[in-house]
Chains A and B, each alone.
Chain A
Amino acid sequence: MNYLAQNLEALRKRYPALAENTQENSGGLLTIVPSREGSPSAAHEGRWVHSGYDPRQEAQGWAKAQLREWKASELGVVLGVGLLYHVEALVALKPQGVMLAVVVPNVAELKDAVSTRPMAAWIHRVEWLWGTPAAMAEELAARSEPLRFMTYGPAARLQADAHRDLEAGLRRMVSAKQTGRLHVAVVGPIYGGSLPIAHHTVAALESLGHRVSWLDQSPHRISYETFGVYHEPRHRLTMQSRFADVLSLGVVTHLAEDPPDLVLALAQAPMNLAVLEHLRKKKFLTAMWFVENHRHLTYWQQLAGGYDYWFVIQEGSCFESLKRAGARHVSYLPMAAEPNLHRPIVLTAADQDEYGADVSFVGAGYANRRTVLPRWLSNDWSFKLWGNEWEGAEGFTSVLQRGGDRIDTETCIKVFNATSINLNLHSYAGDGLDPEADFVNPRTFELAACGAFQLVDERSLMPDLFAADELVRFTAVAEVPLLIRAWLDDVPGRRAIAEAARRRVFAQHTYQHRMKELLTTIGVHQPDRIGAIMRGDRNAGALTQRENTPPELAALLRRFPSDQRVELKEVAAQIKTKGADRELAREELLVLMLDSYRVETRDLV
């Protein structure tokens, strides 16, 4: 039977251009294969797009699972086309009036679908989004309803790039419109490289207008290190691990007393799996920004299933490994700079003298740096080496500053500003350059934000972050002396490159950008929770204007500024401030009653 004509006829009524495009497309993306039960199934490059046994039954199961989360007020957006069994199942199951849209990045796939199966009965009951990812993102961003994305994995896999671009575009557009204020609890590490990043994260969230509870674990460092005196490693690890468990409980206690919308942990935060599971049971939303190389530090394996959202600085195998270990949502979130801190500064002559050099390197003495850096010393330029853990490294005596002491951030910034060419070599435990060079380190962004010129080793993720005319990269150790020689004399060239890099940081790579991205990503996945708050749906003005808000509640809400986020506890507090000796309206009593139970719902400890 020729389904194509019937299906396109039904589609044409609302989507004539899409019907036309589909008709003209030759299709052929999918390989149509009969399933065991007789209905057509499909494969792509040898992998099933629908069940080879019973595609309808499989689709039913998927659709039922989606309905558990999908709220009537949300626009459901399906990612993944295939033969559209799953969309048909959703259309059949969804309540009347609930809206559903399907993203079609490639019309060839739709052509295969409409040529293979009858769809005329329901095809007009779905909204079809097609075109470039940017166009589809714009269309979705213009919608007033919250969006609920529903991914049919086997088919979505075919268009993964388009979906990623669509989501990125959507995040950008959505984040520009966000007005709501979240309460985020940031849990930092006891010490280490992620501690300053935690500080920057807190500052960025605050500057975006969110309320931040900073759960600083660094005051516990002295106690933690006290346990390091035990000679037996097992004893030391046991004590430190138990201590971290206590800190974990401390975090829970804080969360119980002041529950946030989101718990954001930075790498090395003392949060164990039991605590994370406990938090999930109590409906806390958790996220981890894992600002580590997942190949070197592998504790994520124990925690993968504990956090609701993972943000990582690597892609590819990092995503796959985390998902295999149980992570539900993994997103890429590269490092960044804090422009209020990492900035160009005017140095005194004395500072210039102390911190300046033709070439500098700031960093710890990792194995690869010990072998590579000597090859970049020369009598043709002055060289200063700053940082710690250089003990036993021969050949650096004359260039190592301050006897190899750790230097603070302000000193780093002076060095960056005072140096003509800053070398930025990503750490690696072997010799030479990192053979799995993917993520971009914080130093790259910090140097750029300072307006400092740098030579940095090439990373696979670098091109998405900086263009070739914004950063000078090298791919071999031997290239560096040549680059130094070339750029040392080219002051205007260095300045142009450094300024371009700085502009790029300001435009896209600050911690503010990262936090916006992080919150928007979670908001897109949680349209009725984080998403709703960020859209401002929980602000007094929006709540007052809801159609079904009774006048009594509206009167309560009008006591708040219209852009203030209002929750049960705020309304209750407002009622209480009006004085104890007056008669309360029924709605006020109801609010107070709910609030009296609210304080018990987060009884965590």
Chain B
Amino acid sequence: MGRMPRTLIIQLARLGDLLQSLPAIAQLHARQPETQFDLLCPSHLTDVGRLLPGIEKVRPWDGAAWQRRAMDAQQNLRAEHLVEVDTTLMALAPDRYDYAYVLNQHPRALLAASLLAREVKGPFLYGPLSEVLTPWASYIRDVAQRRLGRRVHLADAFCGLCGVSPPGSVVMLDPPTVRLPEDLEPIGKHAAPWIALIVGAGETERFVPTGVWRRLMTLLLSCMPQSRIVLVGTERERAAEIQAPLPSSALGRIWDTTGRTSLSQLAAVLARCHRVVGSDTGPLHLAAALGRPVIGWYFARARVHETGPYGFHHVVWQAEDMMGEIWPVDETIAAMCEQGHHAPVGWSVWTSHCDAWGAYYALAGQSAVPPPEREALWHELETALS
């Protein structure tokens, strides 16, 4: 009996990218059910990696350790350095994989693939030193660097990169079975709607001003008297600043989890909430993958069509031309109160859909017509591949 083929999927970018790899992983798994799929991801994301369906083993990539080694080797390259990194790689994956699928365009992801697998399918046509991108990799680069999307969602473009079509449905994560700190256990256990607010962001340019969050919270607590708010993220000081001037009536209705949860615990908290609101795309993608309806405020470099939460019934306000301090606060409250979707000046509002060509967003309040350029791009790039 032959050995089961082993394939390594490499995603060394951030939380959002890892979660947007979910459709590609699911499709690869569906197409190659006899193959064992493992995942190489940054070590701090391994908890999330273990939640991904179809992944057998998660290999942690310790970027900080690599950086230390590089610092040591940069001026005094010795044989020991190469021996050490080789040993580390051998410990990471004692047997080379048959294949590696590389979902990043950073050379180190390609190098890792070349070191850990015999055959590599990645964004460059001719190996890790090549600068010639595959057609799908070229599309992804255009999206990331030039914002030239053609309505193919990044998660579906990852499918294209791996040579598979989009799943046509939403792949969900099971909530992790993880203990929360005792005081956070009650979250989501009453009947009231629990609304998670992601108050931080990976990049400061995606921070929503604390005053805006405060206003949203005040309105929310007032308009939805049974509601509870859960503050999530890592920015504890920011959360404290938001809450400090809130009226005493808010006491007991706000649950601050910021800076206190691991990624698994964050997933567990989000899974218990009825809605998740925020501008930090990583946790938004996590919430969407856990089946939670998401409300996203997309501004700075975030683009709804390519990186909006994947699935159905998500709502995204996209900044088109931000005019001063106008934020979709009232509109978000109205949406949560089932009072329709409206866009303030400088913003547009979109709802998510999904079909055989993957996820797409349509203007809220209009019929969901799939964008034709999306299907056209799939045909064009599949032709290029063949």
Q: Which B residues touch A528, using CB under 8 A?
A: 76
A299 contacts partner chain B, Cβ-Cβ < 8 Å: no
| Residue pair A593, B77 in contact (C-beta under 8 Å) | no
Q: Which residue of A lies closest to B85 (CB)?
A: A590
Q: In the complex, what residue of chain B is closest to A579 when comparing beta carbons?
A: B129
A-contacting residues, B270-325, CB 8 Å: none
Residues of B within 8 A of A580 (CB): 126-127, 129-131
Give 30 pairs: A residue, B residue, CB < 8 Å, sorted on A: A529-B75, A532-B76, A533-B75, A538-B75, A543-B77, A543-B78, A548-B78, A550-B82, A553-B79, A579-B129, A580-B126, A580-B130, A580-B131, A581-B126, A584-B127, A586-B86, A589-B115, A593-B115, A594-B66, A594-B69, A594-B70, A594-B73, A595-B70, A596-B106, A597-B63, A597-B67, A597-B69, A598-B74, A600-B67, A601-B67
Which of A228-236, A440-448, A463-471, A566-574 faces chain B?
A566-574
Q: From residue 241 to 266 of chain B, which have CB atoms closer than 8 A to chain A? A: none
On whether the beta carbons of B74 and A596 are closer than 8 Å, the reply is no
State the Cβ distance, A280 to closest chain B Cβ, in Å.
14
Residues in B46-78 with C-beta less than 8 Å from chain A = 63, 66-67, 69-71, 73-78
Interface presence of A592 (CB below 8 A): yes
Total number of B residues with any Cβ neighbor in A under 8 Å: 33
Query: Measuring CB to CB, which residues of chain A are less than 8 angstroms from any residue of chain B?
Result: 261, 283, 528-529, 532-533, 538, 543, 546, 548-550, 553, 566-569, 571, 575-576, 579-584, 586-587, 589-598, 600-601
Least Cβ–Cβ distance between A282 and chain B, in angstroms: 9
- Binary contact track B28-61/A, C-beta < 8 Å → 1, others 0: 0000000000000000000000000000000000
Q: Give the distance in Å from the alpha carbon of A550 to the alpha carbon of B107 in the complex.
A: 25
A11 vs B130: C-alpha distance when bound (angstroms): 65
B111 at the interface (CB under 8 A from A): yes
Instruction: Mark each residue of chain B from 316 to 350: 1 if its CB lies under 8 Å from any CB of chain A, else 0.
Output: 00000000000000000000000000000000000
Report whether B111 and A592 are in contact in the complex, using a CB–CB cutoff of 8 Å.
Answer: yes
Closest to A587 in B: B82
Question: How far in angstroms is the closest Cβ of chain B from A477?
Answer: 54
Chain A residue nearest to B126 (CB atoms) is A581
B114 CB–A CB distance under 8 Å: yes
Residue from A283, A550, A567, A576 within 8 A of B71 (CB atoms):
A283
Cβ of B81 within 8 Å of any chain A Cβ, yes or no, is: yes
In-complex Cβ contact of A568 among B73, B86, B108, B114 (8 A): B73
**What DSSP secondary structure best describes chain B's contact surface?**
helix
Which one, B71, B82, B127, B130, contacts A601 given CB within 8 A?
B71
Contact of A548 among B63, B70, B80 (CB under 8 A): B80
- Once the chains bind, are B107 and A568 in contact (CB under 8 Å)? no
- Alpha-carbon gap, A543 to B76, bound state (A): 9
- Cβ of B167 under 8 Å from chain A: no
* Cross-chain pair count, CB within 8 angstroms: 105
Q: How far is the CB of B246 from chain A (nearest CB, A)?
A: 37
Most chain A CB within a 10 A radius of its CB, from B67, B75, B115, B130: B75
Chain B proximity of A77: nearest CB distance (Å): 21
**A interface SS class:** helix
8 residue pairs, one from A and one from B, having the closest CB atoms? A597-B70, A580-B129, A596-B108, A598-B70, A601-B71, A580-B130, A581-B126, A593-B111
CB proximity of B58 to chain A, nearest CB, Å: 20
Whether, in the assembled complex, B187 has its beta carbon less than 8 Å from a beta carbon of chain A, the answer is no
Determine whether the beta carbon of A597 is less than 8 Å from that of B66: yes
Are the C-beta atoms of A596 and B107 separated by less than 8 Å? Answer: yes
**Contact check: which of B80, B108, B129, B130 meets A597 at CB < 8 Å?**
B108
CA–CA, A543 and B77, complex, Å? 8
Which residue of A has the minimal Cβ distance to B80?
Answer: A548
Interface centre among B66, B74, B114, B127 (most CB of A within 10 A): B74
B112 within 8 A of A: yes
Q: Which residues of chain A are near B69, meaning CB under 8 Å?
A: 594, 597
Q: Shortest CB–CB separation between residue A599 and chain B, in angstroms?
A: 8
Look across to chain A and name the residue whose beta carbon is closest to the beta carbon of B89. A590
With the chains together, A546 CA to B76 CA distance in Å?
A: 13
Chain A residues, Cβ within 8 Å of B67: 597, 600-601
* Residue B160 is within 8 A (CB to CB) of chain A in the complex: no
Contact of B114 among A533, A575, A584, A595 (CB under 8 A): A584
Q: Which residue of B lies closest to A282 (CB)?
A: B71
| Nearest B-chain residue to A548, judged by Cβ | B79
Instruction: List, in ascending order, chain B residues with CB within 8 A of A571's CB.
Output: 77
Q: Chain A contacts of B108 at CB under 8 A?
A: 593, 596-597
Q: Which of B124-178 contact A (CB under 8 A)?
A: 126-131
* Alpha-carbon gap, A594 to B73, bound state (A): 8
Q: Give A517 to B109 CA distance when docked, in angstroms.
A: 46
Taking A532-B76, A592-B111 as known contacts, 6 extra A-B pairs with beta carbons closer than 8 A to each other, sorted by chain A number, are: A538-B75, A566-B77, A583-B127, A590-B86, A596-B108, A601-B70
A590–B67 Cα gap in the complex (Å)?
13
| Alpha-carbon distance A592/B130, docked complex (angstroms) | 13
Q: How far is the CB of A576 from chain B (nearest CB, A)?
A: 6
**Quick one: which of A532, A553, A568, A582 contacts B74, CB cutoff 8 A?**
A568
A587 surroundings in chain B (CB, below 8 A): 82
Chain B: minimal CB distance from A180 (Å): 12
What's the nearest-Cβ distance from chain A to residue B288, in Å? 31
Smallest Cβ distance from A196 to chain B, in angstroms? Answer: 32
CA distance A569 to B128 in the complex (A): 17
Q: Check A576 against B129 for contact (C-beta < 8 Å).
A: yes
